[in-house]
Structure 1
């Protein structure tokens, strides 16, 4: 009996294109990492969780095989004008295994949080709280200092030191720099498994990500240097114009032109390097190799990637503000109307911290999910990577579970017949999606 892959009775379960004398990368072969636990192959198994039940199995045939073959065995349905409608794409996890539209990407980012809330939202809440607490304390102290002005509008504003004004914000930025960098890597690893419908614990995600931490920090540092060096040059230009005694109109014109040029430069570089963290985590690349990989993946889809990136930032900002606003407003009232008491400061800091944490714990994984799915979409469109995902998903459904070896499919140097190799990200496959 055929096993759904076109094999003959007694032949090893290998994908098309593999020689018979090569060991199969997955299957029910003894000792294979893809071998599913449970009863022997001759014993009927129950239908896998999350997949539609199929007809009763025949002798030696497990549940789940027939439903997987069904979309490919049925003829295309006839459209109203005679056009053939393609069969629906597989969707074992948070996205359909085909090139993604905008709705698929946004929906997949939301499903990432819903499919594994303990790991995704739990880690995001920790990272958000670490960054929100210093900021909340600094804002509570600053707002409490305004209490005398509320009681006496003619009172002079209090003198505040630089540390009082900006200390909390600077400490919050430093903490977020570390926490968000680590969170991005862990969430990207969780997303790689969620595409197949699998889940990952916090401990497993950290174990698989911790060796990528130096690369992630390296990417952040390189991006900061790329963005801040031109800004430093612009500041130096203004200082030179001031030293030369240039007129106000000349400085204004130069300032407007320099500002517009910097905005264009920042958007261009940020978009081109947006997929570097995903490449570093899922493909296990180094800093320079990840940047080069992102640059080539975005080629051919720059404007689409830029538009989705801007839309994601807008959505994240609005959602974060809506969630945090009631708590920040309540904390501000406590601080200003509390008469400068310690209790008012504590209550204000707690409310502001809760609001900022609540907003960030939703927006952090949403942004990380969109970036990770943009990476997957670009690989599907430029490398036909959806065919690799579909082949693996068929095997996983046939076995009824998602093995940890699915993580290796994202690495072109591990995937059989992968289109690219480390060190040569521009050597893509000749096939592509239009």
Structure 2
């Protein structure tokens, strides 16, 4: 658009470099006596013509005058701009491939430790069931399966507690690995642990509080049913109270699903905030709530898709071992050798599945957190500036981790950080002025 005769049209940057020189002269020359080119000749007759063609309303992609914004820098696993779904999944895969020891190796160790109690309990249960099938009229035909079921229950509870502890610690370490991988840096398991161990108590508190929030309505419903059963409300087959309780329970369950998805989505970014920003439990939950607000449906869709992909991967890897272990446990008749082989096969399947799904889900959550900060706080500009400094320096300094502090951003959830210049008092590039 022009403001009047002789004014310069508004042309996107990058167009002028593709234009021929005005009036047929050399580049940078007006082809007039005494001009920059120094060539003689009469000036063109008629009104002066613009050096630029009229800007099209919608330049065609790849056309001669099409404007292409520069690509965002990609020093690490993701481009430093708001992320699409493909960027998040691709970045998660690159995180695992670029740091195999800190992701797959550590996840395999945690999965092996947590899978042993569950696998042993399942092996005993399958062995007891095999004894029952081989001799249904034995004296211990009933007590054997009961003991096997009890062992499976105990093994499952122990495995759940160990999984809770292991995955909480693993989440902190993997988030630290991701924070450095965004800039193209690598980090050892020991260094990641040193950076994350101070945040482990806050992670445990966060997981416990989140679990309480998500399960509180369900626990209340169970308490109501237990109270009704203790009062004899379910005695008899034609009791109207029992029928009404079942209907109320079904309606409650249907209402509980939206509740569960809503709070699960709003609190999904709290763990990265605890590890990378050093926040407390309630502060991290508030931070996650603000980051997700306004984009809840997209975040929920990505989380559900991640869970579905993790379930598919887990099934593909674990089902063959689970099937083999179950078959051997049942056909062995409860022998010690058969129980050991079945437990090993079941454990191997769970380890293979978990060593992939643990870092995959942690990576998606971390990159979703980075994406929401870039969209809500223009955090991509901070990341791009740091990436340019790293490129000029030629290496990635450990002080780059300080960039995840909430003071580096421009959104409502990130107040300015006062008290230290970027990267700490000294910074990765020498003392700060």
TM-score, L = length of structure 1? 0.76
Instruction: For 2:282 and 2:76, locate their aligned partners in 1 and report how far apart those are by CA, in whole Å.
Output: 31
> Are residues 1:400 and 2:394 paired?
yes
Residue 124 of structure 2: aligned partner: 141
User: In the alignment, which of 166, 175, 181 is matched to residue 162 of structure 2?
Assistant: 175
| 2:214 alignment counterpart | 227
Q: Deviations over 1:33-68 (max 9, x none)?
A: xxxxxxxxxxxxxxxxxxxxxxxxxxxxxxxxxxxx
Cα distance in 2 between the residues matched to 1:237 and 1:85: 62
CA drift of 1:159 comes to 4.2
For the residues of structure 2 that align with 1:393 and 1:258, how far apart are their CA atoms?
A: 50
Q: 2: CA distance between counterparts of 1:249 and 1:84? A: 68
Identify the residue that residue 348 of structure 2 maps to in structure 1: 354
1:118 aligns with 2:118: no
Distance 2:320 2:123 in 1: 15
Distance 1:288 1:394 in 2: 35
**Cα pair 2:132 2:145 within 8 Å, conserved:** no
Distance in 2 of aligned mates of 1:172 and 1:355:
15
Count the aligned residue pairs: 347
SS at match of 1:88: coil
Asked whether the 8 Å contact 1:143–1:336 carries over to 2, the reply is yes
Give 1:78 deviation, angstroms: 6.3
1:246 Cα deviation from its structure 2 partner: 4.4
Residue of structure 2 equivalent to 1:372: 366
Q: Which residue of 1 aligns with 2:146?
A: 160
Residues 326 and 428 of structure 1, relative CA distance in 2, 3 Å threshold: farther
Task: Note if contact 1:94-1:108 (Cα within 8 Å) is conserved in structure 2.
Answer: yes
Native 8 Å contact 1:321 1:359 kept in 2: yes
The CA RMSD measured in Å over matched residues stands at: 2.1
Counterpart position of 1:79:
61
Runs of 4+ in structure 1 displaced over 6 angstroms?
none
- Cα offset for 1:280? 0.5
Counterpart of 2:251 (choices 233, 253, 257) is 257
The alpha-carbon deviation at position 98 of structure 1 amounts to 0.5
Aligned to 2:405: 411
CA contact (8 A) 2:126 2:330 kept: yes
- From 401, 409, 413, the counterpart of 1:425: 413
Equivalent residue in structure 2 for 1:280, among 274, 280, 289: 274
Larger radius of gyration: 2
Shift of 1:412: 2.3
State whether residues 406 and 414 of structure 2, in contact with CA within 8 Å, keep that contact through their aligned partners in structure 1: no
Helix, strand or coil at the partner of 1:146: helix
Cα shift at 1:354: 0.7
| Residue of structure 1 equivalent to 2:174 | 187
Alignment match of 2:293 (pick from 278, 292, 299):
299
1:29-40 equivalences in 2 (<5 Å) = none
Find 2:89's aligned residue among 75, 90, 106. 106
Which structure ranks higher in relative contact order (CA pairs < 8 Å, sequence separation ≥ 6)? 1
Q: Partners of 2:245 and 2:416 in 1: how far apart? A: 47
Cα distance in 1 for partners of 2:391, 2:82 equals 21
Aligned 8 A contact 1:383 1:428 in 2: no
Is this contact kept in 1: 2:269–2:288, CA < 8 A?
yes
Unaligned residue ranges in structure 2 (runs of 5+)? 1-58, 234-238, 418-433
Q: 1:132 to 1:184 in 2, by over 3 A?
A: same
Query: Could you list the per-position Cα deviations for residues 213-246 of structure 1 after superposition, in whole angstroms to 9, with x for gaps in the alignment?
Result: 1110010111121122211221233346664664
Deviation (angstroms), 1:151: 2.4
Matched residue, 2:53:
none
The answer as to whether partners of 2:202 and 2:280 remain within 8 angstroms in 1 is: yes
Looking at structure 1, the residues matched to 248 and 128 of structure 2 have their Cα atoms a distance apart, in angstroms, of 40
Unmatched tracts of structure 1, length 5 or more: 1-76, 430-434
Task: Find the aligned partners of 1:144 and 1:398 in 2 and give their Cα distance.
Answer: 64
Q: Which residue of 2 aligns with 1:41?
A: none
Residues 242-265 of structure 1: per-residue CA shift (max 9 Å, x gap): 646643442232112100111111
